[in-house]
Structure 1
Amino acid sequence: MAILRIDGVRTCTGHRSKTSIYNAVRAGLLTKPVPIGQRVVGWPDYEIEILVSAQVAGQTPDQIRELVQQLHAQRAERFKALLMPAQTTSASPVPANVVQLVGAAA
């Protein structure tokens, strides 16, 4: 996955200006940007690709708004999926490959 900065999003979507991109975000036709620095934001490339494909396929603005909502929900699910391995290892007191010694001094 790559993060596209605003100029990359302009190129991919055909928007002429930065303002038109942010107007599309406000209208729900483009996903919200994610922060990648103190004063820099970007968009996941796969989200932009999906939204452009939906426009090319002739989806209505309402259908694209619904797709944007689904993409926002998937962001949270992807994050949870990334955390799952960390949560399962922290839940078990001893990793499976470690043998506890009975009576060992702590």
Structure 2
Amino acid sequence: MSDKNSHQDSSVESENDDSHVSPTVLAESIRNKTDALHAQGTELADQLERMAEAEDDADADEDSEVNFAGMMTELLETASDLVEMAHAIETARLRDDSE
């Protein structure tokens, strides 16, 4: 999942240097990132449910906390990428409107 998104991120970043990203590239990148965000969120929710069940059974595992932290970081990074992309799109739209 990360490799696919990393490739798409680099395409968007290189085109951002030119101050223009094609709508097709943006659409594909947004789809990839929202798919990743959904998958990461679902995985995180499943992990939290397993942690809650483990606590109920008094079998809490320290590794679960490490996985939880890594999963949260990945989820937040993906969400941050989407927010950054939305800001770039809005900036480009405002620039185009003013020309």
Q: TM-score, normalised by structure 2?
A: 0.35
Structure number with bigger Rg: 1
Q: TM-score, normalised by structure 1?
A: 0.33
Instruction: Select the structure that is richer in strand.
Output: 1
Higher RCO structure, 1 or 2 (CA under 8 Å, sep 6+)? 2
Instruction: Select the structure that is richer in helix.
Output: 2
